[in-house]
Structure 1
């Protein structure tokens, strides 16, 4: 491990067998630009992953997480992803997208296909490989 891995906390938010995902901004300097990903972000110094995921979801979509559970931890060369899951108990129009290009509820078929249409982008956009892997595992275990 050459440099310290970034620690992030992300959430699988589900409703009616669909998964809420964020289309990341199309900025070449960020990981997975213009890809669908899970909501969440960096764990700040002194934060636990649990506190970070609650803060990030509130910041990104204005959603107060209901009781949630840890799904797993996914480390790779650059990042350690702490993954939680919780139900999405509100309609999409009750969320405010404060970060990202778009958001949408993706079906298991969309996730397996690896791409999803964004009205904001006016095109199908790929699902980030890490998010796709996590969701495929989650769907397998939760059914």
Structure 2
């Protein structure tokens, strides 16, 4: 049994004062089922977090991510999250959701509340705790600049 945490690369994609997030599939066995989370995914053997991020964002929403910046690393016992940020330079309707239940541009209010309404789910769904913390850190860091 391998108890090593998995490594993932995830992106904070922002447009004006909103943040693109994915409503994860509501299926048992995945982390944060039915929760809002950041786009991204597992780092494959031999990949850098940067390469993973480009591949995952393209796979998940058909978006070629522009130059991006590392924001930080959020390790816990199960997952080491390598977090990057970049602008979202296209309209939401130009993205294709290939993975997940829904996607949306969440406001800072949604993030502080820890929940957001989903058209596809037809209900308010919660943010994953770790994802909410990352987003709050990001918002607070960028309010000082």
- Superposed displacement of residue 114, structure 1: 0.4
- Superposed displacement of residue 117, structure 1: 0.3
Corresponding residue of 2:79: 79
Corresponding residue of 2:9: 9
4+ long deviations beyond 2 Å: none
C-alpha distance in 1 between matches for 2:78 and 2:66: 30
Corresponding residue of 1:108: 108
Aligned Cα root-mean-square deviation (Å): 0.7
SS of the aligned residue for 1:55 comes to helix
* Within-5 A mapping of 1:123-138: 123-138=123-138
C-alpha distance in 1 between matches for 2:18 and 2:119: 18
C-alpha distance in 2 between matches for 1:119 and 1:109: 18
Structure 2, unpaired ranges of 5+:
none
Normalised by the length of structure 2, the TM-score is 0.97
- Superposed displacement of residue 27, structure 1: 0.4
Corresponding residue of 1:96: 96
Corresponding residue of 2:21: 21
- Superposed displacement of residue 12, structure 1: 0.1
Normalised by the length of structure 1, the TM-score is 0.98
C-alpha distance in 2 between matches for 1:5 and 1:76: 8
C-alpha distance in 2 between matches for 1:13 and 1:119: 20
C-alpha distance in 2 between matches for 1:76 and 1:19: 23
